Amino acid sequence: QVHLVESGGGVVQPGGSLRLSCAASGFTFSTYGMHWVRQAPGKGLEWVAYARYDGNYKRCADSVKGRFTIFRDNSKNTLFLQMNSLRAEDTAVYYCAKDPDTLMGTGFDYWGQGTLVTVSS
């Protein structure tokens, strides 16, 4: 059974940094691409970033480019999102999501429960 557990959320001041983690289990983590998706309070879903199965191919949304970095540790079955230069508009629940594909980022078949990031002074 696929299980994704995010952690690392919290309250941070504008301009600050935070690192989110996503612990994966129930599948061969090193075989699948992984994503971060966020949802601002009362708003819709926004894709944030993707890392291919080996971590060597990554994509991210323009809204976070240059500030957020996705990376993964396949030896620990863990996905990360390093968030720097945080802004108020980054306030959201951040979900970790598994891609059904190995090589292509085409969607999400499993989601975690999410972790809340609040950027506020």
Partner 1 sequence: DVVMTQSPLSLPVTLGQPASISCRSSQSLVYSDGNTYLHWFQQRPGQSPRRLIYKVSNRDSGVPDRFSGSGSDTDFTLKISRVEAEDVGIYYCMQGTHWPLTFGGGTKVEIK
Contact 22, 8 (CB under 8 A): no
Contact map string, positions 8 to 37, toward partner 1, x by CB under 8 A? ---------------------------x-x
State the Cα–Cα distance between residues 60 and 118, nearest whole angstrom: 20
DSSP for residue 31: G
Q: Using an 8 Å Cβ cutoff, are 22 and 4 in contact?
A: yes
Asked whether position 46 contacts partner 1 by CB under 8 A, the answer is yes
If binding is defined by CB under 8 A, does position 50 make contact with partner 1? yes
Residues that bind partner 1 (CB under 8 A): 35, 37, 44-47, 50, 59, 61-62, 95, 100, 105-114
